[in-house]
Amino acid sequence: MASEGLTSTAYIKHHLTNLTFGQHADGSWGLARNAEEIKEMGFWALQLDSLGWSTFLALFFLYFFRKAATQATIGVPGGLQNFVEWIVEFVDDSVRGSFSAKNDLVAPMALTIFCWVFLMNLMDLVPVDWLPMIAQQIGHHVFGMDPHHVYFKVVATTDPNITFGMAFAVFFLMIYYSIKIKGLGGFLGELAFQPFGKWGMPVNLVLEGVSLIAKPISLSLRLFGNMYAGETIFILIAMMYGAGWGMGIFGGILQLGWAIFHILIITLQAFIFMTLTIVYMEMAHQEHH
């Protein structure tokens, strides 16, 4: 286990808690020392680890793609350019496949979402204790914190704040383009007069309203749920190492298998998030009837 004297529950809790900055109950600002303190902070709190990792990975993605873009040649591409072209081509194909309107925003957004979500998911494959332990050491020796209170979640997509943030951005764009393309009347008309015509307006409003609200929620919860569950399973497997040789070796095999399976999941989740974003944008651009 990560620290002496920790029970299994504490270990799991520790791993599933974010490094949170906010206002304590007594009015002072600082890092939360446990889950209760995070709760007390309420809405005005920042998940420093999620923000840090997502920002870092976004910069990582931007740096390499920008580099490939500036060095792009029309001749035979180099390694990086080839790789980037490969991904861009893949995303472009996906966009062409399901997005028929003309909007220069959609393909770059799809590329960003795919790469970013993929990179954030990819952090799930790093052993669950590596980075939190390093963070604990740094927190303890550099900032003089109690190592038990240094929380560090590496996988940003297991934080609903991150997935909801992305989903709401997509949702906002959806509404924006719906109104821009169809006009406010057209957008509201779609909500009110479908699918049962104007005499079924109340039913229509409920149905369409629910389906509209469900889009960002399902988009974010799908990603969050998958990654959170995957992360939890990694943590559960990690606990087996402390339970003797037999369990340890079994745990090792399980972790290997789960990690290999997870390669598929993280890619798939990134792909689904991207594809759904494209589909939602297509719906926003589509005039019904």
Partner 1 sequence: MNITATLIGQSISFFLFVVFTMKYVWPPIMNALNERKKKIADGLAEAEKGHHELELAEKRSAEILREGKEKSREFIDQAQKRHDEIVEEAKDNARIEGERILIAARVEIDQERQLAKDSLRAEVSALAIAGAEQILMREVDKNAHNEVLDKISASL
Binding footprint of partner 1 on the chain (CB under 8 A)? 1-4, 75-77, 79, 82-83, 85-86, 125-130, 133, 136-137, 140, 147, 238-242, 248, 251-253, 255-256, 259-260, 263
Q: What is the SS3 assignment for 30?
A: strand
- Would you call 18 a catalytic residue per the annotation? no
Nearer to partner 1 (CB atom), residue 190 or residue 231: 231
Residue 289 and residue 280: Cα distance in Å, rounded? Answer: 18
Task: Give me the least distance between CB of 31 and partner 1, in Å please.
Answer: 18
Backbone conformation region of residue 252, classed left if phi is above 0, alpha if psi is from -120 to 50, else beta: alpha
Nearer to partner 1 (CB atom), residue 8 or residue 55: 8
Start-to-end Cα distance in the chain: 60
Burial of 158 (0-12, 13-18, 19+ CB in 10 A): buried
Task: Give me the least distance between CB of 9 and partner 1, in Å please.
Answer: 15
Residue 60 and residue 37: Cα distance in Å, rounded? Answer: 32
Task: Give me the least distance between CB of 193 and partner 1, in Å please.
Answer: 48
Task: Give me the least distance between CB of 136 and partner 1, in Å please.
Answer: 6
Nearer to partner 1 (CB atom), residue 113 or residue 238: 238
Residue 224 and residue 121: Cα distance in Å, rounded? Answer: 10
- Would you call 121 a catalytic residue per the annotation? no
Total residues belonging to the chain:
289
Nearer to partner 1 (CB atom), residue 81 or residue 218: 81
Residue 14 and residue 8: Cα distance in Å, rounded? Answer: 10
Nearer to partner 1 (CB atom), residue 71 or residue 211: 71
Residue 128's nearest CA partner among 230, 238, 51, 228 is: 238
Catalytic site residue from 98, 103, 161, 222: 222
Burial of 199 (0-12, 13-18, 19+ CB in 10 A): exposed
Helices marked H in the chain: 8-15, 35-41, 48-70, 79-98, 106-122, 130-141, 160-193, 201-239, 244-285
Task: Give me the least distance between CB of 216 and partner 1, in Å please.
Answer: 32
- Would you call 218 a catalytic residue per the annotation? yes
Task: Give me the least distance between CB of 254 and partner 1, in Å please.
Answer: 8
Catalytic site residue from 98, 103, 161, 218: 218
| Cβ-contact 258, 234 below 8 angstroms | yes
Residue 203 and residue 211: Cα distance in Å, rounded? Answer: 12
Which are the catalytic amino acids?
218, 222, 226
